[in-house]
A = this chain, B = another copy of it.
Amino acid sequence: MSWQQIASDKKARQLDTVPRDWLAPNVPPATQLNVFDFPQKSGVLSPLDLEITETPVSTLLSNLGSSKWSALQVTTSFYKRAIVAQQLTNCLTEIFVDRALSRAKSLDEHLEKTGQVVGVLHGLPISVKDQLNIKGLESTIGYVSWVGQYAEENSVLIDILESLGAVPFVKTNVPQTLMWPETFNHIFGRTCNPHNRSLTSGGSSGGEGALVALKGSPLGVGSDMGGSIRIPSGFCGVYGLRPSYNRIPYAGCVNSLEGEDSILSVLGPLCNTLDGITTFFKAILSKQPWLKDPLVIRKRWSEDEYNLIDHGNGQKLCFAIMWDNGVIVPDPPVRRGLEITKRALLAAGHQVIDWQPYKQNEIISTVNAIWNAGASEDYNTATTPSGEPVIASMGLLPEGEETELQFRPINAGTSAFELWQVQKKKRDLRQEYLKHWEDTISQTGTGRPVDAIISPMAPYTAPPHGLNWTAEYTMWCNLLDYSAVIIPVSKVDQSLDVKRPRSEFYTKEDRDNYEKCALLPYASMDLTDPQKDHPATHENAPISIQVIGRTMEEEAILAMSKVVDEALSVAKSKP
């Protein structure tokens, strides 16, 4: 069977798993870019389904715990909305309704019989990126060769989520290889941004970003090796946490670049509330995940650190804004997001200074050198069995054309010793950056170094498909292993976010970004665009910021993000 046949068979099997009466008959045409109003109009969701799926995690959990809503009801409501989201954005991979509903039912029985919840996530449906194995299901991460490989065991995180009472209910789409900041593969196709379907959802956890944004899932699990949680969170306008290496158990997942032990991928949550993110993180740690995955750091949730003992108990914090990274100046809406945040924090009585970028470009090239050392062999090993080509572009190309494009540069033939030299450089960069951060103590006036950095998560808001060409605003945190939270701030407003004249540029990339991408209509760009009849702009794209703490500072960065988020709420509520 050709790889194309295997892929289309799998896609057909996927459709077969969807209950017919959950399919909306009147899906809007591709020309309707913003689809946020459709769940209400779809006819699939009852008023109760809509109420449940619009409810934040904390209220969901208390209503589940009090039996106001059954787990079966809540799972059904989110499942129906997830299927609608799938019709709108193509965000799902594995759909397993019977299994999820039967698990929800058994949770209800347990609660009824014992009067006790199974755990702190009792009855909460959770979506997971396709990498997470669920026994008996496939985890293809978009590789045709992996179709038909059914997991023999759950990933450790699935086991832990179940022990907490959660209900894993769908798996979500990714780009082939996972190593793209957009979401497209030969099996499941492309995931679109629900705010504007001509824009990318981001990636690699793009399925999660689109699904959570549309409230098809109350809480999703993504992974982040170069920004893969933060980019879709930011582009889709939801909260997302990139934890430090080895706090959330990764064991039992499938992955790319396995065995690359230097810059690690991490799992983390996406959610419509920051509170949901914190609930997830705290719940996982409460299960002592180091007893299930030997790589997980033996460190319990620290209430002291959440109370900001290392940050003057949160009384007066000093944030530093990295307006740009010294390589590319972000587009106007991104800057506006930072300005809104600055004003909000100052109004809340905190200190805000400027963050000086430090060797940001060198950091990015070091990350690339480490990944590229073995990436080519890794991708070829995964694609060769089926004959599927390694995808060369995330753009909207005519079918069959992508195989002829140049693949992004890969340093084939790197020796282990050469890799060690780059990894040594990485270590030195981490050491230098720590000093750079510690040295800010002289500028803060708090007696401490800067408490958290606030940075763009990309130099632009969600771009059209195929145009998310750099992940440099997220990748630096992966090398430095900084904890980071994405917070949605606003949305693109063409009247406010106007392009201003610039004549000096840091780099060629800076100029290109300014000239090509900054709020110009898609149709006017010099690109082969099969969908050029749908003139895409950044219209309606979310504006998000990244709040960055040090390595293993998850507790503190969640608390400081709450400070930021509440300051933004207060600012929004004022005229």
Residues of chain B within 8 A (CB-CB) of A368 are none
CB distance from A500 to the nearest CB of B (A): 37
* Measured CA separation A262–B433 after assembly (Å): 22
Q: Is A413 an interface residue (CB 8 A)?
A: yes
Within 8 A of B (CB), among A75-119: none
Write the A531-552 contact mask toward B (1 if CB under 8 angstroms, else 0).
0000000000000000000111
B297/A420 in contact, CB under 8 A: no
Known A373-B417, A414-B415, A430-B295; contact A424-B551, beta-carbon cutoff 8 A: no
Stretch at the interface among A121-129, A207-215, A286-294, A503-511: A286-294
Partner of A294, one of B251, B290, B433: B433
Write the A417-454 contact mask toward B (1 if CB under 8 angstroms, else 0).
11111111111001101100010000000000000000
CB distance from A358 to the nearest CB of B (A): 13
Partner of A418, one of B295, B416, B423, B427: B416
Write the A391-414 contact mask toward B (1 if CB under 8 angstroms, else 0).
000000000000000000000011
Q: Is A516 an interface residue (CB 8 A)?
A: no
Q: Is A25 an interface residue (CB 8 A)?
A: no
Q: Is A499 an interface residue (CB 8 A)?
A: no
Partner of A298, one of B290, B415, B480, B553: B553
* Chain B residue nearest to A553 in the complex (CB): B298
Greatest chain B CB density within 10 A among A419, A431, A553 is at A419
CB distance from A331 to the nearest CB of B (A): 31
Residues of chain B within 8 A (CB-CB) of A203 are none
Q: Is A37 an interface residue (CB 8 A)?
A: no
CB distance from A205 to the nearest CB of B (A): 22
Write the A254-276 contact mask toward B (1 if CB under 8 angstroms, else 0).
00011111100000000000000
Q: Is A572 an interface residue (CB 8 A)?
A: no
Partner of A419, one of B259, B297, B421, B438: B259
CB distance from A328 to the nearest CB of B (A): 25
* Measured CA separation A297–B550 after assembly (Å): 11
* Chain B residue nearest to A552 in the complex (CB): B298
* Chain B residue nearest to A415 in the complex (CB): B415
CB distance from A481 to the nearest CB of B (A): 8
* Measured CA separation A251–B423 after assembly (Å): 14
Residues of chain B within 8 A (CB-CB) of A297 are 297, 299, 552
B423/A259 in contact, CB under 8 A: yes
* Chain B residue nearest to A434 in the complex (CB): B294
Partner of A374, one of B259, B377, B415, B481: B415
Q: Is A378 an interface residue (CB 8 A)?
A: yes
* Measured CA separation A413–B418 after assembly (Å): 11
Partner of A415, one of B258, B416, B434: B416
* Measured CA separation A251–B426 after assembly (Å): 13
Residues of chain B within 8 A (CB-CB) of A480 are 294
Residues of chain B within 8 A (CB-CB) of A294 are 430-431, 433-434, 480-481, 551
Residues of chain B within 8 A (CB-CB) of A293 are 431, 434
* Measured CA separation A438–B289 after assembly (Å): 13
CB distance from A435 to the nearest CB of B (A): 9
* Measured CA separation A427–B438 after assembly (Å): 34
* Chain B residue nearest to A554 in the complex (CB): B298
A295/B419 in contact, CB under 8 A: no
* Measured CA separation A260–B419 after assembly (Å): 8
B295/A427 in contact, CB under 8 A: yes
B416/A551 in contact, CB under 8 A: no
B416/A373 in contact, CB under 8 A: yes
Residues of A within 8 A of B (CB): 251, 257-262, 290-295, 297-299, 373-374, 377-378, 413-427, 430-431, 433-434, 438, 480-481, 550-553
Show 28 residue pairs from A and B whose CB-CB distance is below 8 angstroms, ordered by the A residue.
A258-B427, A259-B420, A259-B423, A259-B425, A259-B427, A260-B420, A260-B423, A261-B262, A261-B420, A261-B423, A262-B262, A290-B551, A291-B434, A293-B431, A294-B434, A294-B551, A295-B427, A295-B430, A297-B299, A297-B552, A298-B551, A299-B299, A373-B416, A374-B416, A374-B419, A413-B415, A414-B415, A416-B419
Q: A259-B420, A290-B552, A294-B480 are in contact. List 10 more A-B contacts (CB 8 A).
A: A259-B419, A291-B434, A291-B438, A293-B434, A297-B299, A298-B550, A298-B551, A299-B552, A374-B417, A378-B417
The 9 closest A-B pairs by CB, nearest first: A259-B420, A259-B424, A374-B417, A373-B416, A298-B552, A259-B423, A377-B417, A261-B262, A416-B419
